[in-house]
Amino acid sequence: MRRILLGLLSIFISTAALADDRDKLLGTWKLVAFVLEDAETKEKKALFGEHPMGYFTFLPNGRTTVILTAEGRSMPRNDAERAAAFQSMTAYSGRYRVEGNKLVVDVDVAWNEAWVGTSQTRTIKLDGDKLDIISATQPNPNFGGRVMTGLLSWERVK
């Protein structure tokens, strides 16, 4: 009986801790910085420019939405400019959960159809009103397939 009670207590504490971590993300966050770091050279590149725009919103019902855009975008007037506009943004939405220092988003709509139905996992570091997100290290087609890690910094919108 004691083992069962300890097990239930452990589940309750773990669930409460995860809910508490998720609650700390609630609200809207504004993008402060976004760079890609080359896994081999450690060189950092600003894929979306020095002043990208973006917001990440976390709702109490477990849904999140994010949009990032490059600086200097203009309204596209032809197919080539529309393609460039598509390549200078990221947007997706889905259900989210926090697992330790990992943010997992089960994507159900995205600017890139390849993301729909996937789970996007990011490492997070939350310090009050500052949130750092580290993406998975993977080949980046924008840099000739070089293996890169996304580093994003956010501030809570008050």
What pLDDT was estimated at residue 27?
Answer: 97
Q: What is the CATH number of the domain that holds 126?
A: 2.40.128.280
pLDDT above 90: residue 14: no
The pTM (predicted TM-score) of the whole model is: 0.83
Domain of residue 73, residue span: 2-156
What six digits make up the tokens of 149? 């890690």
Quote the number of domains for the chain.
Answer: 1
pLDDT in tens, 58-114: 999 999 999 999 999 999 999 999 999 999 999 999 999 999 999 999 999 999 999
Instruction: Report helix, strand or coil for 74.
Output: coil
Q: What is the pLDDT of residue 21?
A: 76
Mean per-residue pLDDT, 114-124: 96
Residues with Cβ within 8 Å of 115's Cβ and at least 6 positions away in sequence, in order, are: 92, 107
List strand residue ranges (DSSP E) for 74-145, in order.
Answer: 89-99, 102-110, 119-127, 130-134, 138-140
Q: What is the pLDDT of residue 4?
A: 54
Closest by CA to 151, choosing from 30, 29, 38, is: 38
